[in-house]
Amino acid sequence: MNLLARRVVIVTGKGGVGKTTVASAIALAAAERGRKVALCETQGSRRVPDLFDRPSKGYKLTEVHPGLSTLSITSDQAIEDYILQQVKVRALYKLAFKNRVMGPFMRAVPGLHDLVQLGKVWDLERLRDAGEPTWDLVVVDAPATGHGLTMLKSPQSMMDLTVAGPFHDNAKLIRDLVVDAQRTALVLVSLPEEMPVNETIELYERLEGFRAQVALSVLNEVHPTVIGHPDTWPRAREHLAGRAELAEAVRFADRAHVREVAQATARRRLADALPCALAELPFLFHRDLRLRDLKGLATALDPWLEA
């Protein structure tokens, strides 16, 4: 379950649950422990630099915090890298990119745009400085659920598609990294609400060959307890019903109660369905997420890095 002992941590979950925030907090927590961390956004998303109050340099790795660098992977640029660095046929590269037609042509290859983004991650993982890994940990802010799964499976899909040849051999190297539970961990992010938890459990079930890699699930935006006493509250509510001067306060209290019950249910369902550690992050009342908040979240996740 030790995230810090892995080489790659891939963060996924339903859209809108805070994958980018969690990926950033994990990366920051690892960096605060002195690790050299590369944090990759996928599909051209560029939200991380902003969290650190730095301008984005897109595909170019840029340090946003001591020990923490980030980049935004786009499939177009990753395809170029893939051809140039991994297939290592310069003539082919020239042919491909001096030629306007090649772009759409490459996009026509099934699953290539997903594969090359993982290819870039693989590339960062194997980078060495004087024999030592350049990056101790590569954290990936992966696409949401369905697409995230497609991306994880893209190396195998490419291998099935091509059967042999350079793409096949290269996809195999990437596949070997992604399916290796010693080197790659998955983190599933969820919210303490019914639908996101359903989707997280469904995603876990669909992960099949990757289940062993799920090292941590994160319940994000957990609200503080206001009411407590989940079993007793309904009786108190009944008792107070019909009292006009209390109606609004009781309604808000009940709302808080419903949320607390939903949170407890979410916690229990995730713990039952996913045989991994479950971390929780608090709902932030000042959600204009600043570095100070992110540090708070990183501190909250720190115990789980080596859990």
Measured between alpha carbons, how far is 88 from 29 in angstroms, rounded to an integer?
36
Q: Taking the CB of residue 238, how many other CB atoms lie within 10 A of it?
A: 9
Our finding on whether 92 is near another protein (CB under 8 A) is yes
CB of 217 to another protein, least distance (A): 17
| Shortest Å, Cβ 175 to another protein | 16
Q: Would you state the torsion angle of the CA atoms of residues 168, 170, 173, 175, taken in this order, to the nearest 10 degrees?
A: -60
Among 182, 200, 183, smallest CA distance to 191 is for 200
31: nearest Cα among 58, 53, 64, 1: 64
Segment interacting with another protein, rule: CB under 8 A, options 88-96, 123-131, 173-181, 211-219: 88-96
Position 155 contacts another protein (CB under 8 A): no
Interaction of residue 265 with another protein, rule CB under 8 A: no
Kindly state whether residue 255 participates in binding another protein, applying the rule CB under 8 A.
yes
- CB nearer another protein, residue 136 or residue 199: 199
Sign of CA dihedral 21, 27, 28, 30: positive
Q: How far is the CB of 82 from another protein (least distance, A)?
A: 10
Residues binding another protein: what is the number (CB under 8 A)?
70
Cβ-based nearer residue to another protein, 5 or 258: 258
* CA distances from residue 76 to 44, 101, 104, 187 in whole angstroms, order as listed: 9, 13, 10, 26
Shortest distance, CB of residue 287 to another protein, whole angstroms? 5
Binding-residue pattern over the window 6 to 45 for another protein, x denoting contact by CB under 8 A:
--------xxxx-------------------------x-x
Listed in sequence order, the residues at least 6 apart from 205 whose beta carbon sits closer than 8 Å to its beta carbon are none
Phi, psi of 148 (to 5 degrees): -60, -40
Q: Does 293 bind another protein (CB under 8 A)?
A: no
Q: How far apart are CA 90 and CA 98, in angstroms?
A: 12
Which parts of this chain interact with another protein (CB under 8 A)?
14-17, 43, 45, 87, 92, 95-96, 99, 101-102, 104-105, 107-111, 113, 143-144, 146, 150, 161-168, 193-196, 198-199, 202, 226-229, 232-233, 235-236, 238-240, 243, 245-246, 248-256, 258, 284-289
